[in-house]
Amino acid sequence: MIDSLKHLPRSVGSADALAQQFTDLAPPLTDRQAAIEAARCLYCYDAPCTRICPSDIDVASFIRNIHDHNINGAAVGILKQNILGGSCARVCPTEILCEDACVRNHDAEGQPVKIGLLQRHALDHAKFDAHPFQRAPATGKIIAVVGAGPAGLSCAHRLAMLGNDVVIFESREKPGGLNEYGIAKYKLTGSFAQDEVEFLLSIGGIEVRHGQTLGDNLTLRELHAQYDAVFLSLGLNACRKLGLTGEDAPGLMAAVDYIAALRQAGDLSALPVPRRAIVIGAGNTAIDMAVQIKRMGAEDVTLVYRRGFESMSATGHEQDIAKANHVRMKTWAAPLEVLLDDDGRVRGMRFEETRIDGGRLLGTGAFIEIAADAVFKAIGQSLDTAGLSDPMAQQLERSGDKLHVDAHFRTALPGIYAGGDCVSPGQDLTVEAVQHGKLAAHTIHNDIQTKAGAAWPT
């Protein structure tokens, strides 16, 4: 998809200079800083930070372990609940979760304990001679997991811990899903995503098969016939459409496609970079795209959203990152028309200014044009239904554009489970996907042990 930008010039920066733009956004704590920060924790009984954590990490306990210089103990406590705790420490919006709930916000200091950085410190400095969790006795069961993203990996790891064997079917060349292909390069730097997957797989009992795509060379019926259970971790791989003429013109593409290319590029200077760019959206992906294209050397980057700042799904922290990187943010403007040059390439966009009236978003009749050499869509992802075209998959119930599951991640088809971004519960956060996979694994294990999942549909 990055071919849409092939007419644009390459980055003017050298490979080394560009690499420096994608070092850690938040530098790690030193040992001394971690000790001081851990000492600030009040180790609350019934700690609100723990209660709000989507993956049930006992926050106060792991911070106490850091304070007591028991780094391995802190890491094990985190990984027991969140096997991808290293990446979540870097990308989880702690400012609206555990750190927002910290009681230190309400004392004289008025600053929360830096829980995310402490979690990262524990996992970055833990030293294990072997995988910290042992597999239970073999059950003789084999489960298929479709998708090697956070939910699928988490599910596979917990199933392996419980004594099951797992085969993960992944369409891409690398496992990791969003962590590998969709997170800003300055959040998960270097080979961290693959190193974390390698650590997860080292528990044993998990095989990853690449180039396997549901609806292409894989069907749900085949999987159900060959395995004791199936867990669908499909993610959201289809980019939503603007619904405008010219949406397929050279110079307009999905932000996630450029982010994936950027994360996989061995030489950043080989990537095309527009001089002027527009990013349409209001979430973290929009922020990630805008900031990264600015760091790649774009002179003028404008993020456009149809509502106000307070309605953006990107947190205030993310918005501050954009502003600090000189991204211009234009609110109350809805996309109206893709402007093309004489060669049919993007030269900008026309927007209609908007307002709220009676709770409804309305156009004002005033228009603005923004010049751009490239436009990046970050208006949300949806479930790619192409992989769910076989007769069995079509029996899966939907909630809007996602799969419907019960409270235990069972679909309407016995023996088939689903979790992560492709199901309706949650906020599409990595940490929630990890939790879905973990909880689904326990449901799957219990069902196949008690034969509750044996009544397969025909």
Mean pLDDT of all residues in 122-133:
96
pLDDT digits (tens, 9 = 90+) for 91-103: 999 999 999 999 9
Copy the structure tokens of residue 438: 């973990």
Please determine, for residue 208, whether its predicted confidence score (pLDDT) is greater than 50: yes
- Rounded-to-10 torsion of CA 419, 424, 429, 435: -40
Q: What confidence tier does 228 reach under pLDDT thresholds 50, 70, 90? A: very high
- Asked whether the predicted pLDDT for residue 426 surpasses 80, the reply is no
Overall average pLDDT of the 139-144 stretch: 97
**pLDDT for residue 296:** 96
Span 444-455, average pLDDT = 76
* Residue 308 pLDDT > 50: yes
Band of the pLDDT at 192, cuts 50, 70, 90? very high
Distances from the Cα of 292 to the Cα of 113, 186, 227, 239, 242, angstroms: 28, 8, 42, 19, 22
Q: What pLDDT score was predicted for residue 239?
A: 85
| Residues sharing a CB contact under 8 Å with residue 403, sequence separation 6 or more, in sequence order | 232, 234, 383, 396, 397, 411, 418, 422, 423, 424
Asked if residue 424 has pLDDT above 80, the reply is no
The DSSP element (H or E) to which 376 belongs, if any, is strand 374-378
Q: Is the pLDDT of residue 288 over 70?
A: yes
pLDDT greater than 90 at residue 385? no
User: Mean pLDDT across the stretch 298-319?
Assistant: 96
Out of 213-222, 223-232, 252-261, pick the least confident.
213-222
Nearest CA to 322 out of 302, 308, 306 is that of 302
Lowest mean pLDDT among 264-278, 349-363, 381-395: 381-395
Average per-residue pLDDT for the chain: 94
Closest among 169, 127, 177, 122 to 150, alpha carbons compared:
177
Check pLDDT > 90 for residue 80.
yes
pLDDT tens figures, 237-281: 888 889 999 899 999 999 999 999 999 999 999 999 999 999 999
CA distance 5 to 7: 5
The two structure tokens encoding residue 321:
């990152």
The single residue listed with the structure tokens 């270097």 is 190
pLDDT range class, residue 186, cuts 50, 70, 90: very high
pLDDT at 454 (0 to 100) = 44
- Token pair, residue 211, equals 């180039």
| Statement: residue 456 has pLDDT above 80 | no
Supply the DSSP symbol for 346: E
pLDDT of residue 386: 79
Average pLDDT over residues 10-39: 92
Note whether 304 and 370 are within 8 A (CB). yes
